[in-house]
Chains A and B, each alone.
Chain A
Amino acid sequence: MQEASSDRTRVSPYIWLLVIITVAISLILLLLALQEITSEQKDETLATYLLLAGAVLLGSAAYAMIQTRKRVFRAKIESHPIMTTIECKKCGFKSTREFQRGDYIFKESERCQKCGNPTIIAAIYREVKEKEKKRFTS
């Protein structure tokens, strides 16, 4: 188990090295761009390209880091809350609570809060919020 948790949080040293080198190059390019802009015989075209290249490299390094973090973050099993609906056989009063171990559909449950008659577990379900927009559904 220990091995598994270290595996999922570990970021490859090669990626770290690549990111560091990229950041270093981008910083050099940005400094050169700054130097070019502030110099007396400034070349705006060169400064623009240097600035552009520096920004692109810096962006790439940031993207690589975000992707790596995302992969680490996603390493968990998604779980949704499971709800249990209890219904009174007599008055039809319904109440919902979180699922408890031992619950099952049609199990006799506690007395009704309203009329005191026996209740049953009428439903156990999970609610999922759809992330995608509904297209081509019909």
Chain B
Amino acid sequence: MNPLIMLTTLQYSVAQFIPGGDWIIQLIFYLFFFIFILYGQKIQMYVMIREVQGSLYRLKYIRDEGRKITIETINEIGKPQSDPTPRVDRFLEYFTISPQSLDPAGIVWKLEHILNIRDARFKDEVKLMAPSADKTQAHNLENTLEAAMALNYIYKIIRHFYLLGKKTLSLYVIMQLQMVLPLVMREAEAYASALKAFAYGQPIGDGAGALVAASLMHGHETRKIPEDCVVATVQIEGRSAFVIKAEGPGGNVGKPGDAIKTIIEENEGKIANIIMIDAALKLEGEPVGEVAEGVGAAIGGPGVDQFKIEEAILKHRIPINAVIVREDVGDAVSPMRKEIFDAVDKAIERIKQVILEKTKEGDKVIIAGIGNTIGIGQ
């Protein structure tokens, strides 16, 4: 039924039931009309604010849970002499200032230096917080603290824009926040999941590349190479493959850039091919654990390692291939899904195929498994 006819009928009926009812209904109708004309936007904004507030409560809960898990893990593993809570709280507020990019020449080395200082600082802090933790546990604690820091940062940013929107009553601030919130919440939930995985030392989705390398090098002799990486020489299809991964099973990504450069220099640039395996973000609709192949340096992070690898391969004109395992951002930082684990065999098959097609028998190749090697030995 037409709402106007309904309203007229209702008006007629109320007029019969209550003396002067038609007048009341008309008044209500115009009242609603003017309220929505004049305050419609404000009402919409208050609805949005309520929605953002709900998400902010959830973010606060996730942040506090993350902090609680971190402190519990430090107490359990590190056996500190004093309460680590104040130190953890201070650590959560740590920040890193990226180098000035007005003159971009040489920025990679500046960024690397800053990141090295940051890593050293993290290691020192963890040593002070958890003196009884061994190397693997210390790596895991570093990762746990980083996840807790990320959760704290997300919460504070969202809270900032929420309060700013409320203070200025700006629809556009609130609207932008409300629009981006579903993605932010997904990321926060992924970090919360990652935090648990790091605290327990469980392998995460990002370790798909490291797991492929570990599967190839398992049972072979390994040696340490800079920085925080291991290499094993494995015979694959009659070729000598230098299989590289970060040293596990502690939470560690190593510096594959330095590792690949070292192997290239050790072999005087006589490397027939480099194959990099990494986890890559999938698009919605693509299945988790799908293996794809391409060219280029498959490595994420701030870009320092990718830069170093590209410099080294350019110097010696070495072809580079990439094999990726697709997963979404949540899967990348949460405990490894079975689909990703099952993709390891498919990735190895693909690597062998690339080796057969692109190299000759007796050639030397580098296979680098990129990613966080938490919960993955060698």
Contact = CB atoms under 8 A, between A and B. Distances in A.
Interface residues of A, number: 35
A77 B249 contact: no
Contacts of A105: 203, 211, 214, 249, 375-377
A127 interface: yes
Contacts of A110: none
A63 interface: no
A125 B187 CA distance: 21
B13 interface: yes
Contact of A74 (B14, B58, B64): B58
Given A104-B377, A127-B338, A36 B64 contact: no
Given A43-B16, A104-B201, A128-B337, A8 B58 contact: yes
A43 B13 contact: yes
A71 B337 CA distance: 27
Interface string A29-64: 000000010000001011001000000000000000
Contact of B200 (A99, A106, A136): A99
Contact of A123 (B13, B57, B60, B341): B341
A24 interface: no
A1 B64 contact: yes
Nearest to B286: A137
Given A43-B16, A105-B203, A124-B202, A4 B336 contact: no
B142 interface: no
B378 interface: yes
A99 B196 CA distance: 13
A106 B68 contact: no
Contacts of A77: 62, 65, 189, 192-193, 196
B10 interface: yes
B203 A104 contact: yes
A55 B54 CA distance: 28
Query: Which residue among B14, B57, B60, B214 has the maximum number of chain A CB atoms within 10 Å of its CB?
Result: B57
B58 A99 contact: no
B61 A99 contact: no
A137 B60 CA distance: 35
A20 interface: no
Contacts of A106: 214, 218, 376-378
Contact of B14 (A46, A76, A80, A137): A46
A78 B287 contact: no
A7 B57 contact: yes
Interface string B339-352: 01100000000000
Interface of B: 6, 9-10, 13-14, 16-17, 54, 57-58, 60-62, 64-65, 68, 189, 192-193, 196, 200-203, 211, 214, 218, 248-249, 285-287, 334-338, 340-341, 375-378
Interface of A: 1, 4-5, 7-8, 36, 43, 45-46, 49, 71, 74-80, 82, 99, 101-107, 123-128, 136-137
Which 5 pairs of residues, A with B, have the shortest CB-CB distance? A104-B249, A46-B13, A106-B377, A4-B64, A125-B341
Given A1-B68, A124-B375, 9 more contacts: A5-B61, A46-B14, A75-B57, A99-B202, A105-B214, A125-B335, A125-B337, A125-B340, A137-B287
